[in-house]
Homo-oligomer: A and B are copies of this chain.
Amino acid sequence: MQTKLPLAFLLFISISLVTFGQSRKRINIPDIPGYRTLKCDFHMHTVFSDGTVWPTIRITEAWQEGLDAIAITDHIEYRPHSKDINADHNRSFDIAEPLAKNKNIILVKGAEITRSMPPGHLNALFIRNANLLERDDVFEAIKEARDQGAFLIWNHPGWKAQQPENTLWWEEHTQLLQKDMLHGIEVFNYNEHYPEAIDWARDKNLTVFANTDIHEPIGMAYDVVSGHRPMTLVFSRSRTEGGIKEALFSKRTVAWFNNTLVGKANLLEPLFFASIKISSPAVKVRVGETKRIEIENLSDVNYELELAQPGVGFDAPENITLKPHRITSLEISGNSEQVAEMGELKVFYKVKNMMVSSTDNLVVTFAFPNK
């Protein structure tokens, strides 16, 4: 006999039968000319080192949050769950890989070489066999990784547990650099940031990273529903592991966390302009007149602009916030007769949340035809 479900009860329940997380978010960060912008996180742990989740969870999290690629980087030297868990260093990758393929997430094979400072902790990405990194001598371990073709990142260089007073660059890092055993550096890790690392990246030509180093479920550390985890934007020729590897070695990354984007001007600038759409930029401003331009921000970034220098013959707002997925008005007012002679009105804005060094912002130029 078919039991009829009572309506009164169903009415109040039926709305949320579908569980919360069973869909994938889209991260709205645009591609730039010539490259796809891949959203990546290259530093995370599982129960196979000192993390607290099964490896498949890292794939599910990445899929739900809209990432393109991740690396699981369990510690080689630190495995506190070994009383209960017996497995070699490749096991977390092997468990996660089938789900990664099913979900179309690029899973980069990695491991974290975990030593005291110097040189501290280093992530090795694109390795073939993590077990071979288990060496007494840290330089032997790093060399093994390099010989497997690894891309090597200095993790959390300013971590207080290892650099309590100052964030220093050590002689050992110079050696690693010279021997092709250091290629990138984290400027964001978990909830920390390292201003010194931004300048080292620029001066020593290192690839910048924003990684989570997440040990717990991701939702415990970040609001991934309305926000984003820290992530490394990789400007890649294709959505493939090979494309990512080429892009990392070619330094084409931007580190993104908490609405701040750190990287080179030649990447940040196209990223900014690909994020916005200007409606009818041509104006005809005369003295005493105000014209309104609409700028739509198509991205998830909240761009905060500050006027970098006054316009010639016109006023533009001191501050503009281009809120994500909204259209903002920019009003230009002619303040002298001179404005009539300008064929083009150039406005220079500092993008306060885009950093090209620890102290300098990207400056962008809007040029509005004025005829």
Binding site for B on A (CB under 8 A): 1-3, 5-6, 8-26, 47-48, 51-54, 56-57, 60-61, 64, 66, 81, 84-87, 91, 95, 102, 165-167, 190-193, 195-196, 198, 216-225, 257-260, 292, 294, 296, 319, 321, 323, 325-329, 352-353, 355, 358-361
Residue contact A327 to B20, C-beta cutoff 8 Å: no
Query: Can you list 29 A-B contacts (CB < 8 A)?
Result: A2-B166, A3-B166, A8-B361, A9-B355, A10-B195, A11-B11, A13-B257, A15-B258, A16-B191, A17-B319, A18-B319, A19-B220, A19-B222, A21-B216, A23-B321, A23-B323, A23-B326, A24-B326, A24-B328, A25-B326, A25-B327, A47-B54, A53-B53, A53-B217, A57-B216, A57-B217, A60-B220, A61-B220, A217-B219
Pair A190/B19 contact, Cβ less than 8 Å: yes
Would you list the 7 A-B pairs with minimal beta carbon distance, nearest first?
A219-B219, A217-B217, A24-B327, A52-B54, A23-B326, A21-B220, A6-B359
A57-B217, A193-B13, A321-B18 given as contacts; is B222 within 8 A of A225 (CB)? no
Q: Are A20 and B223 in contact (CB under 8 A)?
A: yes
A258 contacts B18, C-beta separation under 8 Å = no
Partner of A54, one of B16, B53, B165, B223: B53
Interchain nearest-CB distance for A190 vs B (Å):
7
Copies in the complex: 4
